[in-house]
Every structure is written in structure tokens, then in C-alpha cells.
Amino acid sequence: MSMAGVPTLGIDFGTSNSAVACVDAGGAARLLPLEGAATTLPTAVFFNAEDRTVHYGREAMALYLEGVDGRLMRSLKSLLGSALLRERTAVGWTDVSYQEIVGRFLGELVRRARTHVGEVAPRLLLGRPVHFVDDDPARDAQAQASLREAAEAAGFADVAFEFEPIAAAFDHERRLDREQVVLVVDVGGGTSDFTVVRLGPQRIALPDRRPDVLATTGVHVAGTDFDRRLNLGQVMPLLGLGHAGPDGRPVPSPLYMELATWHMINFLYTPRRLAEARALRTNFADPALHRRLLAVLDLKLGHRLAAEVEQAKIDCSVGGGAATIDLGEVETGLAATLDAADMAVQLDALLGQVAACARDCVRAAGLQAPDAVYLTGGSSALAPLQARLRSEFPGVPLVEGDLFGGVAAGLAWAAARG
């Protein structure tokens, strides 16, 4: 609580899911319900072209999946730091920039949060990944500036930022009964972020925690990249990726890359890009594959395929068996499959990048190994990722935390500290 008695919100604006928390009058961090009882709001916006309404979260996904005419936006955070953020996109009855859409989404998060807590402080603490953009400090700074601008558009005069894994660490700390040096692993939808921090019940009240943060690292590889790789490996070949044309040359691949990338899908639905896709026909020896590709573009099924792949990834990780990716809407009877062996092969290089970044963080902290590895973020549940971390840090306990709420709760604690 701030002095005036109004709470300061902490917002975790995630690539896939967002959450809002604040410290309540009783002194506990509280995740606020954002969609019914759920304390996450999927970072999804749907512009319903049939009745010109705008929808958010699970409702946005459901309307799109029901086939309502309109535009779905996902993975908006991945556009931060890119020139595409300023691009205007047609949504059926008007056009809006992605920057405006991020502002609207943050505004909606706050509106929903306020139905539970009423007035909030003009100060806001936002999480941010260690790198919005890898190896490009100028674009990284631009990404944070754009997020700040969106938060200002949502009504906050004073916007501060904290690294997402550090926030997650301070939430985890509340449940520790002794001091430990912990590697926090936050693998979400867009980024994998790490910090090595000294945590403990006696340290919570220390006025300055900076000396406890021994290292932070991050890489722009996470769940949406896993989805893209699996999509390119298992589904896109059925639409012609890697297929040889009449001259023996493969069908050009950039369109498939975009179609398999959550935040790029909408850019394929412009009249110009659709005409380009139609003109690819002569590149296909098998016209049936080109027809499938056009069906996906004409029916705007891109997000649906990505969602099917994502679900198969989760089912396969949780169940360990094989999952079917139903492509019946593209062509009757068409389906792809994914099993644990496919997943291990397809994700090997990406998981290697994530594990290397974790290793770098421990090394930067000057340690051989941490006392424990704390896992948060949806993708930290991925079975082959956990296997990779176990072999990277043999003998170190892996502690599974709150997959989706840890960052926001930690932001609330940090916001209340001032």
C-alpha cells in the first residue's frame, strides 16, 4: 500500500499471459482476478469485425476459434523494439497501430484490476525481460520506451521497471525458511530470463537488495519459438515447406516462417501478401499443397494452427505420448502428429541456447552451482527443458513454482517497497 492507502499495481505484461498484483491492506501480495476467477489474462486481443467490438484474453481466443470474422492479435510483446510496432493494421472496420493495441491491452488490465481494488496509485511497476531484443541495446531501449508509452496511455504518470526474474525471485523468497543462493529460471512465451540471487527470510527487510542480485542473463528464446520450430517441422511441410517445385528448387520458405511465428501471422493477411501467396503457384510441383497453403491464408487459420501446435506441445510434454494436430479445416482428414522423440529432436538447439544462458548466469555470479534452481514461467514445465537443466546442474534440486503468477506477485512486493 502507498501512503495514501491506495495500492500500487505491479503488472507482468507477458508475451502469452499477463497478470496484475498488489499488496493488499493485510500486507499480502494478491493476484487480482482478471477474467472470471482467473488471475491471468492471456495476452490476446480480438477485433470482432461482425459487430465492431474488441475482446481480450480467453474470450478473444474463443471468438477467433469459433470462426467469428475479425482479427486476432497475440504475442504483442514480441513486436516491442521493432519498427512493426508503429505499423497500422486493418482490423475490419478501422485500422490501428500495434503500439495502440498494447496501450489498449494495458488499459484493459488496469480497468479489470480496479474492479477489485478501486483507486490505484499513479505509479506503476512493470516487469521487463532482461533483454526485449538480443544484442541490440538501442532497440532494447526502444522496446522499454514503447512499453512505458503504452502504460502512460493507460493513465500512469510514473512508470518504473523491474527485471521479471528478479521479481519472481522476491516472490519465491517469501516461501523460503533459510538462506540460499538460487538460480531463478523464468521461461515464458517470448523470453528465457535468469538471475542468481541470495534469498532468505532474514534478507526480505533489507533496505537495499541490489547486492543480493549476483547476476542476470536473458535470451529471446522461449515457448513461442518452440511452437514455431515444431510448426515448421511437423505442420508446414504439409503445406509445401521443403517441397520441390517443377524446376527442382524448393518452394520459398519466408512465408512459412511468418505463418509459424505468432506475432507475424497477421502481416500475411494483407491483400498484397495474399496476392504474393497466390502467385507462388508455379513454384509448386504438387498444386494440392499450394491449395492447402491458400486455404490457411484465405480462412485466416494461422493462429489456429499455431494454437494446435502449442496444445500438442503441452500434451506431449505432460503426457509423454503422441499428440495429433488436427488440420481438418485445411483439408478434410488432414492431420500431423507430434511425439516426445520429435520434440526432443526439433527443440534440441533451442533448448541448448536456453541452458547455455542459464549456465552463463551461474558463471557470471562466480559460482560452480546454485543451491537450488527455481522454475517459473509456463515453458519451465516443458519436460525436455527440465531434463536439460538437470543435466546442466547435476544434483541441484529443481523447485517448481507458480508458473503464471510469480512475476506479478514479486512486482507487487517490489512496488509496495517503493
Ligand X SMILES: Nc1ncnc2c1ncn2[C@@H]1O[C@H](COP(=O)(O)OP(=O)(O)OP(=O)(O)O)[C@@H](O)[C@H]1O
Binding characters for ligand X, 302-321, by CB under 6 A (x = yes):
--------x---x--xx---
User: In b/e form, how buried is each residue of 257-284, taking b as 16+ CB within 10 angstroms?
Assistant: ebbbbbbbbbebeeeeeeeebeebeebb
Q: Are 352 and 323 in contact (CB under 8 A)?
A: no
Q: CA–CA separation, 141 vs 161, rounded Å?
A: 12
Shortest distance, CB of residue 283 to ligand X, whole angstroms?
32
Interface region with Mg ion, contact rule CB under 5 A, candidates 6-14, 23-31, 168-176, 316-324: 6-14
Residue 229 within binding range of ligand X, rule CB under 6 A: no
Shortest distance, CB of residue 12 to Mg ion, whole angstroms?
6
Interface region with Mg ion, contact rule CB under 5 A, candidates 8-16, 25-33, 69-77, 140-148: 8-16
Name residue, grid cell 510496432: 85
Shortest distance, CB of residue 127 to ligand X, whole angstroms?
8
CA 193 distance to own-chain centroid = 12
CA 210 distance to own-chain centroid = 27
Q: CA–CA separation, 59 vs 52, rounded Å?
A: 15
Whose Cβ is closer to Mg ion: residue 19's or residue 236's?
Answer: 19
Residue of 48, 142, 266, 379 that binds ligand X (CB under 6 A)? 379
Residue of 103, 188, 302, 406 that binds Mg ion (CB under 5 A)? 188
Name the binder of 266 from Mg ion, ligand X, none, CB < 5-8 A by kind: none
C-alpha closest to that of 229 among 330, 388, 339, 348 = 348
Residue number with the shortest CB distance to ligand X?
Answer: 223
Q: Are 89 and 71 in contact (CB under 8 A)?
A: yes
Whose Cβ is closer to ligand X: residue 10's or residue 378's?
Answer: 378
Q: CA–CA separation, 61 vs 18, rounded Å?
A: 14
Dihedrals phi, psi of 252, to nearest 5 degrees? -55, 140
Residue 401 within binding range of Mg ion, rule CB under 5 A: no
Shortest distance, CB of residue 97 to ligand X, whole angstroms?
20
Binding residues for ligand X, rule: CB under 6 A, are 14-17, 77, 164, 188-191, 222-224, 310, 314, 317-318, 377-379, 381-382, 404
Binding residues for Mg ion, rule: CB under 5 A, are 14, 188
